[in-house]
Amino acid sequence: MLKKVVCIALPGMAPFEFGVVCEVFGIDRSAQGGPTFDFTIVAAEPGPIRMKLGFDIVIYNDLSAAADADLVVVPAYMDASISSEGAPAVHQDILRVVREAEARGAWVLSVCSGAFVLGEAGLLDGRRSTTHWLYTDKLAKRFPGTTVDADVLYVEDRHVVTGAGTAAGIDAALHIVRRELGASAANIIARRMVVPPQRDGGQSQFIQLPAATAPDDSLAVVTDWMLQHLDQELTVDQLARTALMSPRTFARRFRAELGTTPTAWLNRQRLLRAQQLLEESELGLEIIAGDTGFGTAAVMRHHFVKVLQTTPTAYRRTFGSRGSARELLETR
């Protein structure tokens, strides 16, 4: 049973991610029928802790409070491998505490760059993990023993949960509440925080897809033409004729200049256009699918799930100009 939760404060800690942990586990929600946790914030060296944005918070409890915790949380902080400011190494006693928590079967949760602490402690070896998409390559390079998934909001692997960037810490924390106390408890917390109790998709949908890379003049004309005719069925042979090249030469030049195949590039631009229409218009899914060259809503849905790990409907609900406000009102 999830009762005692300990959050470890580190120098360079990010205020938002730290606040997420405090918000989920530190508030008494018994009046709404929700859970109440024995929540403690600890530090390797109690006293002032300098936050990432330059202000201090004062921590009064040392790491001994974590000895019997059911969940130990490590928020985001400026790890030395991702900071240009020379962040200090993680205190050895913090690494010991998270190792001991994992060894006794307690939950261990990291938010965003907090995954680097878990990696330093050896907890990610042989496990899947994630972190903010900006840092996934660095996490994989620094800790080759883990399989890093850059597309998900969080990963659970044998009671070790790693959350992706920033707000994904909410998803990871609520996941643990849901696993331990059930969906009702997680829903009460989510409703109080005015957030979805369980989001669809992964962090790929939050990564801005690259716009059309400017190719050399030899292909600029044809890529511009492709963007103007996304709603049409475009073949490599047709595109090669437009570029005044043979299909083989066109495909080779296209990959050399744009780093991908004509078909993959075209699908990515169609996806970008569909995202824009979902965000800014109220057009139906079939119309958007037709206007962007996917043909049908089912085909468009396939590409959204494959690339963005979410559906067009869920994407519009999250990012649409009216959908976001409507969702917030419905959760109040």
So where are the chain's domains? Answer: 4-202, 217-323
Helices 312-319 and 297-308 sit at what angle, rounded to 10 degrees?
A: 70
Residue 285's pLDDT is 96
262 and 229 in contact (C-beta within 8 Å)?
no
Residue 191's pLDDT is 84
Amino acid making up residue 186: A
**Residue listed under structure tokens 């849905």:** 301
d(C-alpha 101, C-alpha 85), whole Å = 30
Residue 143's pLDDT is 95
Angle (nearest 5°) at CA 302 between 265 and 304: 65
DSSP, collapsed to helix, strand or coil, labels residue 1 as coil
Which residue positions in the chain have pLDDT lower than 70?
80-87, 197-218, 321-332
At the topology level of CATH, where does 4-202 sit?
A: Rossmann fold (3.40.50)
| Pairing status of strand 56-59 against strand 147-148 | unpaired
Residue 325's pLDDT is 38
Helices 183-193 and 15-25 sit at what angle, rounded to 10 degrees?
A: 130
Specify the DSSP class assigned to residue 164: -
Enclosing H/E stretch for 107: strand 107-111
Specify the DSSP class assigned to residue 204: G
| Pairing status of strand 56-59 against strand 47-50 | antiparallel
Bridge partners (DSSP) of residue 157 are 160
Contacts 24+ apart (CB under 8 A), 24-31: 24/170, 24/173, 24/174, 24/177, 24/189, 24/193, 25/71, 25/73, 25/173, 27/192, 29/188, 29/189, 29/192
Alpha helices in the chain (DSSP H): 15-25, 92-103, 115-120, 136-142, 168-181, 183-193, 217-228, 236-242, 247-258, 262-280, 285-291, 297-308, 312-319, 323-331
Residue 297's pLDDT is 95
Classify burial at 83, counting beta carbons within 10 Å of its beta carbon; exposed 0-12, middle 13-18, buried 19 or more.
Answer: middle
Q: If one looks up domain 217-323 in CATH, what number appears?
A: 1.10.10.60
Residue 207's pLDDT is 56
Residue 165's pLDDT is 85
Residue range 46-93, pLDDT digits in tens = 999 999 999 999 999 999 999 999 999 999 998 766 665 556 789 999
167 and 12 in contact (C-beta within 8 Å)?
no
Residue range 20-40, pLDDT digits in tens = 999 999 999 999 899 999 999
37 and 2 in contact (C-beta within 8 Å)?
yes
Record the pTM: 0.67
Q: Which two tokens stand for residue 215?
A: 């190719």
